Amino acid sequence: MNTGRQAKIAATLLTATISTVMILPFTATAGETPGSDEGGKVMDEAPAGVKLSTGLSEKISVDNSTKETSDLVASVSNQGTKDSGKVNLLVVGFDGMAIKEVPGCTAIGTADLPEGSNSGFTCPVDNLAAGKSKSYKVAATFDLTKTGKICLPVESADGKQRFWQQGPVPFGATSPSPNAPVTPLLLGTENKPASPAGDQSGGGEGDGEEETLPSTGAGRDVLPLGAAGAALIAAGGAGLWWSSRKPTA
């Protein structure tokens, strides 16, 4: 009897252990940064000991009937040795990619959007401790008849400094099919638009600028400082928007 009872207990413990091992890998941990910082570059020098960067999902998908994307996550992280203090993460869409919602963030007004963008949100981050990150689920749409890009700048709370900018970096598929229910999109891939009839030969040929991977740095794709958002200043739960530009030397 004792031997049988011990065997049952051992079997129960083994089952519980296997279940735990299967569940744990899918549990997100605090400070985890999803995806890749592809297309990212340091801009203005951050305070001593602060090292800011962003991350995007490497692969997302788009519903061909609704144009809604899934699995898109944006993050901001501090890989330095000191707290970041207050900063703003901006999530901005270009071309066929439109940002519809970022929970906990505020939509950027049309007049304040950077040139060439169609939508954007500002996410105020009170503070990022050293080695920590903060992630945001991004609701967006993607028009497969166009190319689509996203940009993640990280600015000081007053909008006068830009410490980091990722993108505008493209999401896309090299051979999308409008007949499929869902199309996977890869980060850093220029979308090759598909015709309504499913013809993969057209779309994008001769478009010039859209066929080139957007560069990152002090060029045409760098968002004007302060144009996309300026700072969201919290005062008793209320926010005040204002725009500013970095003074030129």
Residue 4 lies in a domain: no
Domain holding 181, by residue range, is 27-231
Report the C-alpha gap between 69 and 62 in whole angstroms: 4
Dihedral class, residue 129 (left if φ above 0, else alpha if ψ from -120 to 50, else beta): beta
Residue 2 lies in a domain: no
Strand partners, 182: 63
Instruction: Quickly list DSSP for 173-186.
Output: -SS--TTSSEEEEE
Residue 187 lies in a domain: yes
Report the C-alpha gap between 190 and 205 in whole angstroms: 12
User: Which phi and psi (to 5°) does residue 175 adopt?
Assistant: -145, 65
Percentage above 70 pLDDT, the chain: 64
- Per-residue pLDDT band at 54 (split at 50, 70, 90): very high
Residue 243 lies in a domain: no
Reduced to 3 states (helix: H, G, I; strand: E, B; else coil), residue 113 is coil
Reduced to 3 states (helix: H, G, I; strand: E, B; else coil), residue 208 is helix
Average pLDDT over residues 58-84: 97
Residue 21 lies in a domain: no
**Looking at the predicted structure, is the pLDDT value of residue 217 above 60?**
no
Residue 13 lies in a domain: no
Residue 217, CA distances (Å) to 112, 153, 167 in order: 21, 11, 9
- Per-residue confidence (pLDDT) for residue 106, from 0 to 100: 98
Residue 93 lies in a domain: yes
Reduced to 3 states (helix: H, G, I; strand: E, B; else coil), residue 3 is helix
221 residue type, one letter = D
- Per-residue confidence (pLDDT) for residue 34, from 0 to 100: 59
- Cβ atoms of 142 and 131 within 8 Å: the answer is no
Residue 14 lies in a domain: no
Residue 147, CA distances (Å) to 17, 19, 84, 137, 177 in order: 47, 43, 34, 22, 14
Quote the number of domains for the chain: 1
Cis omega (within 30 of 0) for bond into 168:
yes
User: Which phi and psi (to 5°) does residue 144 adopt?
Assistant: -70, -10
Residues 142-194: tens digit of each pLDDT: 999 999 999 999 999 999 999 999 999 999 999 888 889 999 999 999 999 87
Residues 78-93: tens digit of each pLDDT: 999 999 999 999 999 9
